[in-house]
Structure 1
């Protein structure tokens, strides 16, 4: 997608505070940039009505952002954009850019950490350690096992590389159904159950869209192996959480490793906290200082492209929702 170049100086707003190194880097691309940041005198909600560009992940309503007469582009530090998919923002002319590709290796590492912890009963071993109980726990040999990937974007492909290094067979569900050398076999969403039936570990990295909302329900858990583990590092609402709890309680699946949830933070009253076959992490699988700098590098590149009227990177398709 190509946009008209901008001749005037750009007012660039951050959702937090500008670091000196960020300002210096931006000036290399946009020498006459005007830097805006919220402070005691000016709130972020006020500044969005003055800024041309917004960098960061603002905790304000996308509906309010859509009302800005000046905003041309928003660069998010995250990959997920589901909260922005409201009619007002989708219909606005604001360009939405995400950090797709930045978090792939980080989140894939986190998915594998959950997979390995579950396969080696490390969550149960920690409980035994706390109680000073010496007990040999069951393990799952990964070699020859099947990993079923729900989603084959940057995270899914990185997960596949890691699974194959453990000698695992890898199959995947992909919206297009198009073959990919990263995995052994690709299935379209209409054949989701075929993937679930054969998988020993199901790793979900799907974005949240109209098509993926509650894609995994009790019906899907019922076709999985009773010995299978479910891992979610994508978006919480791709899974119907009450059905996941039911599947775990009734031992329809062996366990789950979860970094994302339907509602975050996870409610203290959620049954998930107390289930012995669940490992919970607080949606930090992609959090890393290096990731921030990689995202900022995309932002700098797009500033240069925006000034020149060249195609931008990582532009979100508001209709597809990613």
Structure 2
């Protein structure tokens, strides 16, 4: 049976490589409703088109390769019921996200808010303004999520001689972490930390994990970073924690509601850095996708199975 693949808009992928494998290519511009039921493979999840393909009578869809690490936006129960394989891009975004987290930390540690404010005023800053400036090796980091991204961040932090604490489901050890804790022991993990980074996947257990109970347990923690999933953080609790000085700073790339509404109080807090869900972006992203997708595609064409990054639809990652 011929495999039919639909690619996302502007995917920047070498489609001739796929065609040589005997795979017929469709794009959102070339597909017609008559083709929906014939699609075997989907790269990316594109609404509303993907929902129409999945819902097509007698659909032949067998495999979805996402272009993200997270899969919480997929209809996981339906996909599991239909026994559709799902693979993600876990690992592709480890470098850009890790480097972005370092940027966030340096932004506050090197007091760039003051630097930029003086730049805007064309004013030479006095060294006395930087009395509280920090270096990364002075900070203890607790990273929630020790997968590809968390492990890469911890590895980079070791170059700065920073102390690293990891939090994962079981507390299992991971290279580059000085100590790891189980998710249920999070209070011990943050007891003496300076920087908290969320990189956890979104599941029932991690939705609003960072809630009022979490933030109120802190005591003037230096920095909270969210590059994981927006809904893992209860926004109202985070805002209150910043106002109550449970947190000194926050750097946020993902939010419960995106785009972040212009009316959100977060925009007005001077100790908050906001970026537009961009931490995973980098040039030549298509080549990075292909490094995972192409081996999987070759295996799927040959055997009907995939060899890398298959996710557990019950666990949600």
The reply on whether 1:213 has 2:207 as its aligned counterpart is yes
Give the distance between the partners of 1:274 and 1:289, measured in 2 at CA: 31
Give the distance between the partners of 1:46 and 1:124, measured in 2 at CA: 59
Structure 1 runs of 4+ with >6 Å offset = none
Counterpart of 2:310 in structure 1 is 315
Give the distance between the partners of 2:195 and 2:169, measured in 1 at CA: 20
Q: Which has the higher contact order (CA 8 A, sep 6+)?
A: 1
Give the distance between the partners of 2:75 and 2:221, measured in 1 at CA: 37
TM-score (norm 1): 0.90
Give the distance between the partners of 1:192 and 1:237, measured in 2 at CA: 18
Aligned length: 310
Q: Is the 8 A contact 1:123 1:279 kept in 2?
A: no
Deviation at 1:61, TM superposition (A): 7.3
Match of 1:24 among 16, 22, 39: 16
Q: Is the 8 A contact 1:62 1:89 kept in 2?
A: no
SS in 2 for 1:183: coil
Give the distance between the partners of 2:192 and 2:169, measured in 1 at CA: 19
List aligned pairs for 1:245-284, cutoff 5 A. 245-284=239-278
The 3 A distance-change label for structure 1 pair 282 and 49 is: same
Structure 2: tracts of 5 or more residues without a match: none
Deviation at 1:187, TM superposition (A): 0.3
After the TM superposition, which of the residue ranges 10-19 and 90-99 deviates more from structure 2?
Answer: 10-19
After the TM superposition, which of the residue ranges 195-204 and 221-230 deviates more from structure 2?
Answer: 221-230
Match of 1:301 among 291, 295, 300: 295
The CA RMSD measured in Å over matched residues stands at 2.0
Give the distance between the partners of 1:298 and 1:46, measured in 2 at CA: 30
CA distances 1:195-254 after superposition (whole Å, capped 9, x unpaired):
112110111111111111011112211222304210111111111111001111222110
Counterpart of 1:5 in structure 2 is none
Give the distance between the partners of 1:78 and 1:16, measured in 2 at CA: 15
Deviation at 1:145, TM superposition (A): 2.3
Give the distance between the partners of 1:232 and 1:46, measured in 2 at CA: 42
Deviation at 1:125, TM superposition (A): 2.4
TM-score (norm 2): 0.91
The reply on whether 1:15 has 2:5 as its aligned counterpart is no
Counterpart of 1:287 in structure 2 is 281
